[in-house]
Amino acid sequence: MPFAELLGVEVLAASSEEVRARIAWEERLCTAGGVLHGGALMSLADAAGAYCTFLNLPERSAGTATIESKTNFFRAVR
């Protein structure tokens, strides 16, 4: 996934049951205050979800798309 690669998303494990991925804190992905941008975190979640969905698609499926996504953050990542 080109956008996930741009953000530095690293897939640690991928199966039809589980996908584990991570993104490194990098200054280029932060807000002016040094906090990892929420959009970067949501992109990580979206990429992991898309990967898992893709691994579970029936044969000859056309693909998937994120229709809606909502996140509540509890604290900043520094």
CATH number of 2-55: 3.10.129.10
Q: Above 80 in pLDDT, residue 77? A: no
Q: Average model confidence (pLDDT) for the chain?
A: 92
The domain spans of the chain are 2-55
Give CA–CA dist 62/13, Å, rounded. 24
CA distances from 37 to 8, 30, 56, 67 (A): 14, 5, 29, 21
Q: Which residues, 6 or more positions from 36, have their beta carbon under 8 angstroms from its beta carbon?
A: 25, 29, 30, 76, 77, 78
pLDDT tens sequence across 26-61? 999 999 988 999 999 999 999 999 999 999 999 888
What average pLDDT does this structure show over 4-21? 96
Q: Can you give the pLDDT at residue 36?
A: 92
